[in-house]
Amino acid sequence: MTVRILLITLLFALVTPPAEAKTRVAEFRGSGNATTAVFRVDSPWVLDWRLDGDFDQLLALEITLVEARNSRHVGRVVYTKRRSNGARLFHQGGLYQLRINSTLARWTVKIEQLTREEAERYTPKERL
């Protein structure tokens, strides 16, 4: 009987697909200046951003992280003057908002909750 239960458990583990660990907490899109809705994340989490526009020059994006409870400026997390994308890993959870300033651009920002294992595998790109 014990062997049968062990075999059934093993078979179930092999057949069941692994759960998706990364979870989208929030997504924001726009083309101008904005302060996002408040979002709550636990540590670790990632801010995934994309900047697009109709011009090769004159566009810009700046994203600032703000603690939502007291409007404390945590820091500037993105600043670019060209079409690009990227991600930033954070090890501090909390209740936050983003202040987004853009010029002649369309932007998308995704906030994704990670597992500790995903965060350990996260390796930032080297700057060129």
Beta bridge partners of 87: 48
Q: Which pLDDT band, with edges at 50, 70 and 90, does 15 fall under?
A: very low
The reported pLDDT for the residue numbered 122 is 79
Q: Is 128 exposed, middle or buried (0-12, 13-18, 19+ CB in 10 A)?
A: exposed
- Digit-coded pLDDT (tens) for 89-117: 999 999 999 999 999 999 999 999 999 99
**In the chain, what percentage of residues exceed pLDDT 90?**
71
Q: What is the largest CA-CA distance in the chain?
A: 72
d(CA 14, CA 108): 37
Least confident segment among 4-8, 24-28, 57-61, 87-91: 4-8
Which helix (H) or strand (E) segment holds residue 63: the answer is strand 60-67
How far apart CA 65 and CA 19 sit, in angstroms, is 30
Q: Give the residue-averaged pLDDT of 69-91.
A: 95
With 0.85 as the threshold, say if the pTM is over it: no
pLDDT confidence of residue 125: 63
Domains and CATH numbers, the chain: 21-121 (2.60.120.380)
Phi, psi of 120 (to 5 degrees): -65, -30
Contact yes or no for 77/10 (Cβ under 8 A): no
Q: How does residue 6 score in pLDDT terms, banded at 50, 70 and 90?
A: very low
Instruction: Say what the pLDDT of residue 10 is.
Output: 46
